[in-house]
Every structure is written in C-alpha cells, then in structure tokens.
Chain A
C-alpha cells in the first residue's frame, strides 16, 4: 500500500462485536473519516483477543495494533473486557521487554454510541504510528513482501 511512496502503515484494529464494531459502523454511518490504513477484524468480545494474534500481526508486518472493546462494566458478556485489560497489560510489558515501542499497541474502550470517538481514536492512532515509522523489530523477514 504505497501512495506516492510515502510510508503507509498497516494498522490492525480488533473490535468487539457488540460495542466497538458497532461504534465503527456508526462512524461510517456518520461519514466520519479515518485513514484507510486501519483494517478492522471483528471478534465476539475483547476477551477473545489472544495476545498471540497481536504478535502474529507484528510478525507479518503490521505497524500498529489496537484493541477496542466495550467500556469496563458494559461488556456484553459481563466480564470479558476485564480479562482483556489484564491480558493486554501483561502483553504490554512483554512487548516493552522485546523492545517494541509502547505506542504501537493500544487499548481503547469505544461504545456502540461513540462513532465520533472511534474515528478520533483511529485518526490519533494512525498519526502516532505514522510518527513512529515502520515496525521492523518483530517482522518475520520471510514474510517480507519485496
């Protein structure tokens, strides 16, 4: 994905089906723009996110990964996002140990009514990743495109 040779980051967004995915849909319904680099993967709940998926994304050349779930206390499955929060905290310290910049991964709570917040979050995250530049540390060279 390179338009006029500028760095175009690949950003993977994991969104829970009940809140954040609906929030992303709402930002679409409201025609709120965010960069096309963001690709959303739907998961039933933020607690479905295995930290392995994030490592896999980095390995395959993603430059940033963001997890969006329901606000704490509002999980469709009552407690799912609490698990997600704890797992991500652990993952963050591991990524830190591996030398991945802390800002490449993020957790945001976006409810189904927060289309504007979703778009704003994605804009901000994409800008952050853009500033950080390409992720090379975890990338599996065998997966290199060129």
Chain B
C-alpha cells in the first residue's frame, strides 16, 4: 500500500526534513485530525490504514499551499490526493448510501454531481 501511494503521488516522503512549514501554511488545519507533516510521516512509516480511515483527508482543500511552500519539494498535498484515490479505489469503503441521498439534496445541487458522487463512492 505504501508503494502504491508513493507511485500514485510520485512523492518521496524520505525527502522531508520535518520543518513543519506545510502544517504552518495549511488553511484547513483545524478541520483535520492529521496534519500535512503527519501525512508525510505516516506514509513514510507505513501507517497508511490509519490515514485512509481518517475523515480528515476529505477536508484537505487541495489549495497546494504546502506544495508551494515546502522547501524540499515533498508535496504533501499530492500524498493526500493519492490516499483519497486509494480510498476511492478500494472496495467497501463507501461513504454514500442511497438512503442518505434525499437528505443531502437541495435544489441548487447539480444532478451531475450526485451521479458522479454515486459512481465514485458506491462500489
């Protein structure tokens, strides 16, 4: 799994020197239980399951502030995107149940988004 994440993201977490500039830059800090520098550390040390079960990864805004500011080109946001992708790809990690949909609907929500989300999160 660790190799998959590294391959999808193209990130080498070994390059991290643990300066914490990513975490310092992160605008979604309060929303996440794991923070950018921890993502990198967890991938490096193989604690991926914990990361995949975390709801925090969905709160990453992909603003790429961490990628932009990282002095060592580690690109934490790409790691997060790869973890999200791994979650989507795996079977049974559904976050969307058909019976939950009526509550989620509002009239401004485009139809297409529901279809796409359904396709993505129902496997």
A and B touch in the complex (CB under 8 A): no
